[in-house]
A and B are shown apart, each in its own frame.
Chain A
Amino acid sequence: MPDKSYMHSQESLKPKNKPADYKQFIILLNWLKKPKLMQTSKEIYDTAQRPAPLIEEILALIKYKDLVIQFIARAIKTRYKRSILGVVWTMLNPLLTMIVLTLVFSQLFRFSIKNYPVYVLSGLVMWIFFSSSTNSAMGEMLWSGSLLGRIYVPKSVFSVSAVGTGLVNLLLSLIPLFLIAIVLQVKITPAILVMPLAILLMATFALGIGLLLSATVVFFADMMPVYEVILVIWMYTTPIIYNIDIIPVQVRWLFKLNPLYYMITIFRDPLYNGTVPALSFWLIAAGFALGALILGGVIFTSKSNEYAYRI
């Protein structure tokens, strides 16, 4: 739908003078005549009889699921509202980064990774998904303070919708990823059918970390810049632009403590190698994902009563 708003001048938007209150009166009468939706089931809020914070939050989240959808839609709509290419940027962004990395690393350092663009791009889209989800989970929590002080909303909607937004963007960037893979004649096998599970585990992990960060940032606004630094370090200690084989054997165990190593491998291998990674990778990734979600969920909800006092 063309956005007509640009054509309106401020002046023309002012409500026009109407003959007396006639129109208002009719509207009001119509309103009064209409049967109202009566709420039959009575909601009772009793501070002495509340379920455990985690359960209360999950129940509220289910009730407010449409809010999550609204937040995701808003994030995607407003992000590109005034740009010409719009949502195409979601696909172009990792692609351009990939081209730069490919030029730098495959030419300059002569990495012996075949089909380097596919290798780096598959790692990169997952990385962008994780970093942007967790970062905006924290940011949304911080910037929504004035809202939280006025009306009740389950506070985890910010983290959930941040991960949801990241997920939509990830799905969009799968399009260029597969295009590149086809162009470079990577052999696509049925192994790619397990990729959704890898994405799900990453989303679970990102939500857990996002909740944890959101709980922290309420008490320390400094967490935002600190996390940005952490993200830079995290990115370079994760085998995204390089292969873990180039890491000396003595310290390789250290790199294998990194949850993202597993998350990215189980996503990348099915496309890049055409194989399903070993079960141990899946179990470790699932362990990290669930562990992060439970830890994040418990810490976030145990502090959630205090947020309205703090923000």
Chain B
Amino acid sequence: MPTEFNSGVTDLTEMDELPVIQFENVSIRYRVPRERLSGIKEFAIRWMQRRIQFEDFWALRHVSFNVSPGEVFGIIGRNGAGKSTMLKVMAQVLKPVEGRVIMRGRVAPLLELGGGFHPELTGRENVFMNMALLGHSRQLTTKLFNEIVDFADLHEFIDAPLRTYSTGMVARLGFAVATSVRPDILLVDEILSVGDSQFQQKCIDRMDDFRHQGTTIIIVSHGMGALETLCKRALLLEKGFVRLVGPVEQVIQEYIAENKPIVIEPEPAGPLPPLVPLELKPMPAPVPENGFVSLGQEGGIYPAQNILEPGQGAVMVWLKIKHDYPPRDAVIFHTDDSRYILYISLQYFSSQKRYIRKLIARAGGNKRVIDTYYGTSDFPEVGVVIEDVDAPRKYILNKDEWYLVTMTWQGYPAGNVCMYINGERLGERPYDSRYDQGNDLPGSISIGLRPRVWIGEIIHEENGKTKELRPDSFMSISEGGIEIHNLRLYQRGLDQAEILQTFEKERGVMLPIPGD
């Protein structure tokens, strides 16, 4: 059965002059403590010390647009662009910090089919529960009950507990309930990603039916194909801003143009110099001297026992980016489990339309903390942009000059990981107990190397299993245009005064004398 979503504009727009959905300069800000303060005691202590730092995250900025009655309207954007937030604002879950939202009509979210179901209750009981969650009266539910069961085709099982249902059956019941009353505005997130194709067709048919009766439909999707067939107009979100509102083809084109894989442009132009594998040298355990150990051998692999610990420590190194350094990831120091790394990574800056180098320090954790709310994931890392672009944390590293880079950490439960360049404190990141996977300490350290496959992560799966992805191979960065000198590893965190002292003492040797 072909869909007719695109078969001409309905005349319903003329029935009602006012837009069904009206966003006027809407901004949504998530204000989160930079550290996760779960306890009252912790909160009270930090509050008294005035140490609670909040980080503002603007999920939507100055968003304005209108949707007319009967329109099928798409919302497009990358992960984290603010699509889900937009739906939450429309569903009246989030109230905007600034601006005004007007929704003219009853809104029904079709966000996650069967999200409010309870496994112990029967299908029948769940229908009544979910209808009540959507704000419908018991009376109306009783009236519509048979229709709902018909549509879901679950007559035989409606008095069985939901835990005995298959996923498809739950999805069918969820859709039947959510669409049992025609809403004025239907919000659809990731259209039809559940159920079999027959069921999906049924859903599309019903939505089509709704549209003919005047329902406005908002669809959020990654699938451009689905959007192109279903919508007439769409909105492109980028980092919370509206980039474009217009005909769906135009918006999709813009989106694709923005997000096509970027070929790294080498600087200077020309192919990247080949990476010649460095000869790996197993090294004896380093002996501490003057409170630190020196790791001098580029390509050397040192035993890490009794050297690194999550509690505290510091890595200090002189670093030079040579004029022929290609845009490429590089690791200056890392442990075999990637729990402690000092590395250079490329990050795409859409404002610059190119990759920008970042120097990143990670200490004490390779357990990725996933924030399902924002769709982001994090390590205990501090990153500093080292090129001349507009970025909050920046320290330009001129080519062919030496810089003293220091990462230092005071670990769990309440510490930070910090980064300094030439004694200047550039950033810190508080620890979060969720980073701490409690595994054994790393077995070896290598310097001037990078793992060929850039993984070093312990993944905790939903079923309780743990998957360890340890780097299995190494290759050299020595041809990559980075030089390191005198890498020192301390078993305690360093403070700024100590770092500055070292910098003042050694800069005469490392830095060119002015005017020379």
Contact = CB atoms under 8 A, between A and B. Distances in A.
B121 A226 contact: no
A149 B88 contact: yes
Interface in B100-114: 100-107, 109, 111-112
Nearest to B111: A150
Contacts of B134: 151
Contact of A149 (B129, B137, B198, B373): B373
Contact of B103 (A4, A45, A151): A45
Interface string B209-230: 1000100000000000000000
A220 B38 contact: yes
Contacts of A78: 118, 120-121
Contacts of A308: 88, 93-94
Given A15-B168, A27-B153, A63-B135, A32 B209 contact: yes
A28 interface: yes
A64 to B, nearest CB: 6
Interface string B111-133: 11001101011100100110011
Contacts of A221: 38-39
A66 interface: yes
B30 interface: yes
- Interface size bucket, B side? 35 or more
A4 B120 contact: no
Interface in A30-67: 30-32, 34, 36-39, 42-48, 63-64, 66-67
A81 interface: yes
B161 A152 contact: no
A8 B125 contact: no
A66 B137 contact: yes
Contacts of A5: 122, 159-161, 164
B105 A146 contact: no
Contacts of B109: 150-151
A48 B137 contact: no
A112 interface: no
Nearest to B139: A66
A43 B160 contact: no
B259 interface: no
A13 B121 CA distance: 16
B151 interface: yes
Nearest to B31: A309
A13 B133 contact: no
Contacts of A10: 164
B30 A309 contact: yes
Contacts of B135: 63-64, 67, 153
B43 A220 contact: yes
A31 B198 CA distance: 16
Contact of A77 (B121, B144, B169): B121
B432 to A, nearest CB: 15
Nearest to B180: A37
B65 to A, nearest CB: 15
A151 B121 contact: no
6 A-B pairs closest in CB distance: A5-B160, A67-B132, A152-B92, A70-B132, A45-B103, A48-B100
5 contacts: A31-B147, A38-B182, A151-B93, A152-B91, A221-B38
Interface of B: 30-31, 38-41, 43, 88, 91-96, 99-107, 109, 111-112, 115-116, 118, 120-122, 125, 128-129, 132-138, 140-141, 144, 147, 150-151, 153, 157, 159-161, 164-166, 168-169, 181-182, 184, 198, 202, 205-206, 209, 213, 373
Given A15-B168, A42-B184, 10 more contacts: A5-B122, A8-B157, A13-B160, A13-B169, A39-B182, A147-B115, A153-B133, A220-B38, A221-B39, A309-B30
